[in-house]
Amino acid sequence: MAAAETKPRRDGAGGAGSLAAPLALLMRLVDWPMRALQRLIGERRMAYVFILPNLAFFSLFVFLPLLINFVFSVTGGAGLFPSERPFVGAQQYGYLFDCGSFLDPSSCREDHFWRGVANTARFTIFQVTAMVLLSLLTAVVLNMKIRARGFFRAVYFFPVLLSPVVVALTWKWILQRDGLLNAAITSLGGERILFLVDPGWAMFWIVFVSIWAHMGFYTLILLAGLQAIPADLYEAAEMDATPRWRVFWRITLPLLWPNMIVVIVLALIRGVQTFDEVFVLTGGGPGTATLMIVHYIYETAFANQVQNFGLAAAASVVLGVVLFALTLAQLAASRRKGAA
């Protein structure tokens, strides 16, 4: 009986031993050149060896495209390869910024670019303001001891997991002329509303859909910040009979402010980069009512009958500078949060 019990153990040990030998040999094969390299370049420089593959990958797919894009922005012509494009210097940038008044896109030589800038600014202001306020309200409610709290947290985060194209197609099916919302309106005796054709309604709905799709992510960040606030502060305030609004204003908001800064900056970056939902939902229309700057870059480079890669590249460089400034603001906010 004892022999029968020990037999599987010997088999298992034999299987492990059969795998251990090749692994040990593989480790020795790797160990020898790595030790030789360490003696050659020094222990401190070995870190660069380990990050070199990632750095090469990042350079190939990030730095190189950035360099090519900049080259395109200072060259002209219709050629696709840089060698076929003549150097024009800052001509493309001058074309973009040739305006009588930057506040009046119709006075600009490239009016579609500035209409895209104006629409993006308007969209970002309304979307970020509403997004931050609603995310804060939702996070505060979900941080309370309510029934089915875990369920509602999952529900609010679920749209974040969906593809932007799926989100836009779903809402387009709801908002189109013969869509679900108009069917509900007509069933109640009302008239159809052209939500995606009227300029005012179109801008409202792309803001609404964007908030619906992304609010869960920012709510999660704020909820994590709320849960990090020490509970004894609220207990002390409760013992002093402090009103709830004063507790929120004096305790919750100041301690949550670092998270708020991160949410605001991330929402700004996302708002400036918006493209997917708007492209599928309205296509930039009606006219140029919902044309965003990224959509303008796409159309100028690929969708127009005359493709202007240089002008699109110059517009993307301008956008990149704006995003870089917002990224620096995010890094500064993160460092301030860490110091606090």
- 191 Ramachandran zone, left/alpha/beta (phi>0; psi -120 to 50): beta
Torsion sign, CA atoms 63, 327, 273, 222: positive
C-alpha 56/C-alpha 52 separation (Å) is 6
pLDDT (0 to 100) of residue 334: 67
pLDDT (0 to 100) of residue 1: 43
Residues 31-44 have pLDDT tens digits of: 778 788 778 887 77
pLDDT (0 to 100) of residue 3: 46
Residues 241-262 have pLDDT tens digits of: 888 888 888 888 888 988 888 8
298, 122 in Cβ contact below 8 A? Answer: no
Q: Which parts of 9-135 are beta strand (E)?
A: none
SS3 75: strand
C-alpha 272/C-alpha 264 separation (Å) is 12
Q: Is the pLDDT of residue 11 over 70?
A: no
Residues 57-107 have pLDDT tens digits of: 989 998 999 999 999 999 988 888 888 889 998 999 999 999 888 888 888
Task: Count CB neighbours of 306 within 10 A.
Answer: 6
Place of tokens 């204003």: 249
Could you tell me the two tokens for 53?
């593959």
C-alpha 55/C-alpha 63 separation (Å) is 10
295, 278 in Cβ contact below 8 A? Answer: yes
171: nearest Cα among 204, 134, 123, 136: 204
In the chain, where are the structural domains located? Answer: 18-63, 116-339
This model's pTM is above 0.75:
yes
- Domain 116-339 fold is MetI-like fold (1.10.3720)
- Looking at residue 257, its amino acid is W
